[in-house]
Structure 1
């Protein structure tokens, strides 16, 4: 693998320019300016022993937003969660998400329509939230069953926490797949 495609060694992250730290967040999560605003200083001020620890620390920041009683914190979190593309969405900007969701774009047209309808129902049930899940090779039917379960649960707080966990699981998977320069993991 070309080292230009790899993640920076952990020890170098605090010294990286803000733009490179933002790019790192984009590669692990999804491109999202509100996430940059939330986490750039975390990456500059804290040394991390592993990418899993770094991702976990970002997850704690997101959890603090979820647990806050502030409506602005809730809106901020919703914007960050919405950086993830809808499952089965035709046009996906992020090449990583496009690759991760590839198997969801196979199958019958009726199944694709069902997924689109579930996305719509999810967003009606949980206004402002986007369904985020770590696909991890699971089929469209398995993902749709999970979505139905989460809709039926009718628990907004649980949904925010599930989305944060999924974002972190996705980021950890990406970090492990991308690899680290200089064995700095």
Structure 2
């Protein structure tokens, strides 16, 4: 079971290396970019901002990312989240969110292929979506829609290189990056509710 430090403990972490990192890692997933860049930046911002709730802290964190980070840092941040359909090395909350039990193997195989297709279409990005209680099969269909490919349970169709590629930094690539960052924020708010914290 996941826990989170008290808000007072997180806010008192002026260096961004202790309870604040722990809190942000619980809400956003632990990653090197979170530990090395995000938490220290949020800690610095907290010295001049009033935060009354964890929801406020999530908003401040997202604002730090959206207003102060370049696309490369944002892409590294979303890489901290597991791919849809992964079943190993998931945090407790990711496992719960992705409904790790009772997913047919053919759906997991298809999701693996769709992740490869998505990574080819959007170089340097990982598909992130706010699952919101939906099954992996439902997310599989969402990914097919995003990629513009027919419904299937094939683990090999279409050929990855056949789906087309968008240029890194193009409007389509940036739109997908910003959507992913926004969904990470929705996931964090959902995790907060699941933890029973305000």
- TM (norm. structure 1) is 0.80
Mapping for residues 1-185 of structure 1, pairs under 5 Å: 5-9=3-7, 11-16=8-13, 18-36=17-35, 37-43=37-43, 44-45=46-47, 46-64=49-67, 73-103=70-100, 105-152=101-148, 155-180=172-197, 185=198
> SS state of the match for residue 179, structure 1?
coil
CA distance in 2, matches of 1:89, 1:12: 32
> As a proportion of its length, which structure holds more helix?
1
Would you say the 8 A contact 1:55–1:172 is kept in 2? yes
Can you give the 5+ residue segments of structure 1 that lack an aligned partner in the other structure?
A: none
Q: Provide TM-score, normalisation by structure 2.
A: 0.75
Paired positions, count? 171
Moved beyond 3 Å, runs of 4+: 4-7
1:87 Cα offset (Å): 1.1
CA shift, 1:74, in A, is 2.2
Unaligned runs of 5+ in 2: 149-165, 167-171
Q: In the TM superposition, what is the alpha-carbon distance from 1:141 to its structure 2 partner?
A: 2.6
C-alpha distance in 2, partners of 1:165/1:119? 19
Higher RCO (C-alpha under 8 Å, 6+ residues apart):
1
